[in-house]
């Protein structure tokens, strides 16, 4: 995927599309989740990082209430709406993300002016790298500044969640936008989803001679809604039977007893969440004591748990992980909600070539469509570019 146009080029495109210069240009990154899958809605821990792929928006406030939205992606043409008449259920296609953010601001009693918005993004769509939150976080950061709304980051996290949940209709949590808004170069974001407290954690794979490879299987995760809802329901059932507020409150030591109280499937769902929470903490500890090269086995264990206990992997993800590992990756796991999307493979720089080749070769031999393979590194969170 090519870089999005630079600030000057984006401003020039804005000028030619809208006939005026933008008031500014903002950027917010996608994210990859290093570890902590399906732990967020169980009030547990996650450890994502903001990546060096981002959505950029050039924005101008208009004197009226008209909204004009344009993306450099595809040939979709300009969408027009009215800031005074934003309505759930009317927005279509990609504009639901920026419009959802504007709507969420209005729900907070904040005035939303008419706007011209041009979007350019190099976050792959639907690959589990949260291209949707990159858009939302770029837009909310721009609006917060342009309208002097004075929202703190915590409030922006909640507003973008409201946009996704209630306007877009995607039942997502707070991980993606927290990473996109709070990320920093060379750091992962440890987030406690119970109280939203966070801490930046150094994750400097490069200094350790490693790269984080993303293997985008190109398998669409857009049909995962049913599976996602079913997993959430299993987790709710598990916590109800075990008598806890959320699975966050179940300890590793409680699992033996839980096995006797739950049916086999619910038990395996619960075991994934409980062990995954523990793996997030293990990785935190390992990053502090030994550095990135030590976390491989924990990534592998996470993948096995998602494949066997939570059952959210697929043949392409399993193959990507297996091929990467046997060609020299230190550890690999599917990342994101599952049923498709991407895997990550923590790979020594010296083995990068052979890992890429092995995954491509394995996909070809299995008759799968060629994957997209690229590196990501922890990058800055949302910011103003111009
Ligand atoms: P993910 O967030 O995992 O990438 P989603 O389905 O949540 O997947 O969001 C993908 C959607 O975001 C796309 O279908 C599209 O509507 C929108 N989107 C992402 N990038 C762009 C872009 N550059 N231009 C227009 N829309 C985009
Ligand atoms: Mg998304």
2 within some domain: no
274 CA to centre of ligand 1 in angstroms: 31
Clarify whether residues 26 and 79 are in a common domain: yes
CATH of the domain at 359: 3.30.70.890
pLDDT at residue 128, rounded to an integer? 87
- 184 and 218 co-located in one domain: no
pTM, whole model, 2 decimals? 0.96
- Predicted local confidence at residue 172, as pLDDT: 86
Which domain covers residue 269, as residue numbers?
A: 205-376
Mean pLDDT of 329-336: 97
**Residue 188 and residue 265 in one domain:** no
- 124-156 per-position pLDDT tens digit: 998 889 999 999 999 999 999 999 999 999 999
277 pocket-lining for ligand 1 (C-beta < 6 Å): no
Nearest-5° Cα angle at 97, 91 to 103 = 70
pLDDT of residue 201: 98
Alpha-carbon gap, residue 207 to 45, rounded angstroms: 26
Report the C-alpha gap between 316 and 363 in whole angstroms. 8
| Catalytic site positions | 176
263 in the same domain as 278:
yes
The vertex-42 CA angle with 36 and 45, nearest 5°, equals 35
pLDDT in tens, 201-210: 999 999 999 9
Q: Which residue has the higher pLDDT, 90 or 238?
A: 238
> Which candidate, 83, 84, 77, places its Cα nearest to that of 98?
83
Q: Which tokens is 344 given?
A: 């990550």
Classify residue 347 as exposed, middle or buried by CB count within 10 Å of its CB (0-12, 13-18, 19+).
Answer: buried
C-beta 79 within 6 A of ligand 1: no
DSSP letter at 76? Answer: -
Are 331 and 348 contacting, i.e. CB atoms less than 8 angstroms apart?
no
**Is the Cβ–Cβ distance between 297 and 346 less than 8 Å?**
no
Cβ of residue 347 lying under 6 Å from some atom of ligand 1: no
Both tokens of residue 314? 């697929």
Atom 2 of ligand 1: nearest residue by CA position = 130
- Decide whether any atom of ligand 1 lies within 6 Å of the 119 Cβ: yes
Q: What is the CATH classification number for the domain harbouring 128?
A: 3.30.230.10
* 172 contact partners, CB below 8 Å, separation of at least 6: 133, 161, 164, 165
Beta-carbon count within 10 A of 232 CB: 15
182 and 318: one domain? Answer: no
Give pLDDT tens digits for 247-283. Answer: 999 999 999 999 999 999 999 999 999 999 999 999 9
- Distance (Å, rounded) from C-alpha 30 to C-alpha 133? 7
**pLDDT of 15-72, one tens digit each?**
999 999 999 999 999 999 999 999 999 999 999 999 999 999 999 999 999 999 999 9
Same domain (yes/no): 148, 194? yes
User: Do 11 and 62 reside in the same domain of the chain?
Assistant: yes
Q: Is the pLDDT of residue 369 over 80?
A: yes
Q: Helix 264-289 crosses helix 296-304 at what angle (to 10 degrees)?
A: 170
Ligand 1 atom closest to Cα of 121? Answer: 23
Nearest to 267 by CA among 239, 230, 226: 239
90-121 residues labelled b (16+ CB within 10 A) or e (exposed): ebeebbbbbbbbbbbbeeeebebbbbbbbbbb
């Amino acid at each position: 995927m090519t870089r999005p146009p630079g600030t000057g080029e984006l401003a020039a495109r804005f000028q030619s599309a809208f006939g005026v210069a933008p008031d500014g240009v903002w950027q917010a990154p996608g994210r990859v989740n290093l570890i902590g899958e399906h732990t967020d809605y169980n009030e547990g821990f996650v450890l994502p990082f903001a990546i060096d792929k981002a959505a950029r928006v050039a924005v101008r406030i208009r004197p009226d209430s008209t909204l004009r939205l344009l993306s450099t992606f595809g040939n979709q043409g300009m969408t027009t709406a009215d800031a005074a008449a934003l309505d759930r259920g009317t927005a279509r296609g990609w504009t639901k993300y920026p419009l959802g953010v504007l709507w969420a601001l209005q729900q907070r009693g904040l005035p939303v002016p008419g706007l011209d918005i041009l979007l350019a993004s190099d976050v792959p769509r639907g690959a589990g790298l949260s291209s949707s939150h990159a858009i939302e976080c770029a837009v909310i950061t721009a609006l917060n500044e342009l309208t002097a709304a004075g929202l703190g980051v915590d409030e922006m996290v909640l507003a973008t969640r409201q946009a996704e949940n209630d306007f877009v209709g995607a039942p997502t949590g707070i991980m993606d936008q927290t990473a996109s808004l709070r990320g920093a170069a060379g750091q992962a974001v440890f987030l406690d989803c119970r109280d939203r407290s966070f801490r930046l954690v150094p994750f400097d794979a490069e200094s350790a001679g490693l790269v984080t490879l993303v293997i985008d299987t190109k398998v669409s995760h857009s049909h995962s809604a049913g599976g996602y809802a079913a997993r959430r329901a299993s987790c709710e059932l598990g916590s109800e039977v075990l008598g806890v507020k959320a699975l966050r409150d179940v300890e590793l030591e409680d699992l033996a007893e839980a096995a006797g109280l739950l049916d086999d499937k619910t038990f395996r769902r619960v075991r994934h969440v409980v062990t995954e929470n523990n793996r997030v903490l293990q990785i935190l500890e390992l990053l502090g004591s030994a550095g990135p090269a030590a976390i491989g086995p924990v990534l592998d264990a996470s993948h096995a748990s998602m494949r066997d206990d939570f059952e959210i992997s697929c043949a392409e993800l399993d193959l990507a992980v297996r091929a990467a590992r046997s060609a020299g990756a230190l550890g690999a796991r599917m990342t994101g909600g599952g049923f498709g999307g991407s895997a990550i493979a923590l790979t020594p720089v010296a083995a990068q070539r052979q890992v890429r080749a092995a995954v491509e070769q394995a996909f070809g031999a299995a008759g799968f469509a060629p994957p997209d393979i690229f590196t990501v590194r922890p990058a800055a969170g949302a910011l103003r570019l111009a």
